[in-house]
Amino acid sequence: MINRYIDREVLKNEEEMYRQVFLERNVKFINQYTTPTFIYPDSKNIRRLRLVEHIWVVGDKFYKLADRYYGDSKDWWIIAKFNNKPTESHVKIGEKLLIPTPIQEALNVMKG
Protein backbone atom coordinates (compact mmCIF):
# COMPACT_ATOMS: atom_id res chain seq x y z
CA MET A 1 0.00 0.00 0.00
CA ILE A 2 1.20 3.49 -0.81
CA ASN A 3 1.44 5.75 2.21
CA ARG A 4 -0.56 8.91 1.55
CA TYR A 5 1.63 10.84 4.01
CA ILE A 6 4.85 10.42 1.99
CA ASP A 7 6.45 13.78 1.18
CA ARG A 8 3.93 15.71 3.29
CA GLU A 9 5.10 18.33 5.72
CA VAL A 10 4.17 17.80 9.37
CA LEU A 11 2.97 20.88 11.22
CA LYS A 12 2.81 21.30 14.99
CA ASN A 13 -0.60 22.73 15.88
CA GLU A 14 -0.57 24.66 19.15
CA GLU A 15 -3.40 27.04 18.30
CA GLU A 16 -5.31 28.37 21.28
CA MET A 17 -8.64 27.69 19.58
CA TYR A 18 -7.97 23.93 19.98
CA ARG A 19 -7.21 24.15 23.70
CA GLN A 20 -10.27 22.08 24.64
CA VAL A 21 -9.19 19.32 22.23
CA PHE A 22 -5.72 19.33 23.77
CA LEU A 23 -7.22 19.03 27.25
CA GLU A 24 -9.47 16.15 26.21
CA ARG A 25 -6.52 14.32 24.65
CA ASN A 26 -4.15 15.26 27.46
CA VAL A 27 -1.62 16.74 25.01
CA LYS A 28 -0.01 20.15 24.49
CA PHE A 29 -0.18 20.07 20.69
CA ILE A 30 -1.32 17.94 17.74
CA ASN A 31 0.80 17.02 14.72
CA GLN A 32 -1.05 17.62 11.47
CA TYR A 33 -0.11 16.92 7.86
CA THR A 34 -0.32 19.53 5.14
CA THR A 35 -2.89 18.91 2.44
CA PRO A 36 -1.35 17.79 -0.85
CA THR A 37 -2.22 19.54 -4.07
CA PHE A 38 -3.03 17.38 -7.05
CA ILE A 39 -3.46 18.51 -10.63
CA TYR A 40 -5.42 16.97 -13.43
CA PRO A 41 -2.75 15.61 -15.78
CA ASP A 42 -2.40 16.96 -19.29
CA SER A 43 -2.57 14.68 -22.34
CA LYS A 44 1.23 14.22 -22.43
CA ASN A 45 1.24 12.90 -18.84
CA ILE A 46 -1.88 10.81 -19.33
CA ARG A 47 0.00 8.91 -22.04
CA ARG A 48 2.40 7.73 -19.31
CA LEU A 49 -0.49 5.82 -17.73
CA ARG A 50 -2.37 2.69 -18.63
CA LEU A 51 -6.06 3.61 -18.41
CA VAL A 52 -8.50 0.81 -17.65
CA GLU A 53 -12.07 1.53 -18.74
CA HIS A 54 -14.80 0.66 -16.26
CA ILE A 55 -18.52 1.05 -16.88
CA TRP A 56 -20.31 2.10 -13.67
CA VAL A 57 -22.99 -0.40 -12.62
CA VAL A 58 -25.41 -0.68 -9.74
CA GLY A 59 -23.50 -1.47 -6.56
CA ASP A 60 -20.21 0.07 -7.70
CA LYS A 61 -18.27 2.10 -5.16
CA PHE A 62 -14.93 3.86 -5.54
CA TYR A 63 -13.46 1.86 -2.68
CA LYS A 64 -14.46 -1.41 -4.40
CA LEU A 65 -12.79 -0.32 -7.64
CA ALA A 66 -9.65 0.72 -5.75
CA ASP A 67 -9.51 -2.67 -4.09
CA ARG A 68 -9.93 -4.44 -7.43
CA TYR A 69 -7.44 -2.36 -9.44
CA TYR A 70 -4.96 -1.27 -6.75
CA GLY A 71 -5.33 -3.94 -4.09
CA ASP A 72 -6.30 -1.41 -1.42
CA SER A 73 -9.70 0.19 -0.91
CA LYS A 74 -8.09 3.21 0.80
CA ASP A 75 -6.88 4.45 -2.59
CA TRP A 76 -10.44 5.13 -3.80
CA TRP A 77 -9.79 8.88 -3.95
CA ILE A 78 -7.32 8.45 -6.83
CA ILE A 79 -10.09 7.10 -9.08
CA ALA A 80 -12.51 9.78 -7.89
CA LYS A 81 -10.02 12.62 -8.42
CA PHE A 82 -8.82 11.35 -11.81
CA ASN A 83 -12.42 11.22 -13.07
CA ASN A 84 -13.39 14.55 -11.46
CA LYS A 85 -16.11 12.79 -9.45
CA PRO A 86 -15.91 13.79 -5.76
CA THR A 87 -18.43 11.14 -4.68
CA GLU A 88 -20.25 8.13 -6.09
CA SER A 89 -23.40 10.22 -6.35
CA HIS A 90 -21.68 12.17 -9.14
CA VAL A 91 -21.43 9.02 -11.30
CA LYS A 92 -24.38 7.81 -13.39
CA ILE A 93 -25.16 4.17 -14.13
CA GLY A 94 -23.58 3.28 -17.47
CA GLU A 95 -21.00 6.06 -17.29
CA LYS A 96 -17.44 5.18 -18.30
CA LEU A 97 -14.71 5.80 -15.73
CA LEU A 98 -11.00 5.60 -16.40
CA ILE A 99 -8.84 3.86 -13.82
CA PRO A 100 -5.25 5.17 -14.00
CA THR A 101 -2.62 2.47 -13.50
CA PRO A 102 -0.08 1.67 -12.25
CA ILE A 103 -0.99 3.46 -9.05
CA GLN A 104 2.47 4.89 -8.29
CA GLU A 105 2.72 6.38 -11.76
CA ALA A 106 -0.81 7.81 -11.43
CA LEU A 107 0.23 9.55 -8.21
CA ASN A 108 3.42 10.88 -9.81
CA VAL A 109 1.46 12.29 -12.75
CA MET A 110 -1.19 13.88 -10.56
CA LYS A 111 1.42 15.52 -8.32
CA GLY A 112 2.67 17.38 -11.36
Model pTM above 0.75: no
Looking at the chain, the domain(s) classified CATH 3.10.350.10 span 43-111
Q: Which of 1-5, 31-35, 41-45, 57-61 has the highest mean pLDDT?
A: 57-61
Tell me what the mean pLDDT of segment 83-102 comes to: 96
Say what the pLDDT of residue 9 is: 83
User: How does pLDDT run across 32-42, given as a tens digit for each residue?
Assistant: 888 777 888 88
- Nearest partner of 57 among 68, 41, 49, judged by Cα: 68
Say what the pLDDT of residue 5 is: 67
Type of residue found at 26: N
Q: Which fold has domain 43-111?
A: Membrane-bound Lytic Murein Transglycosylase D; Chain A (3.10.350)
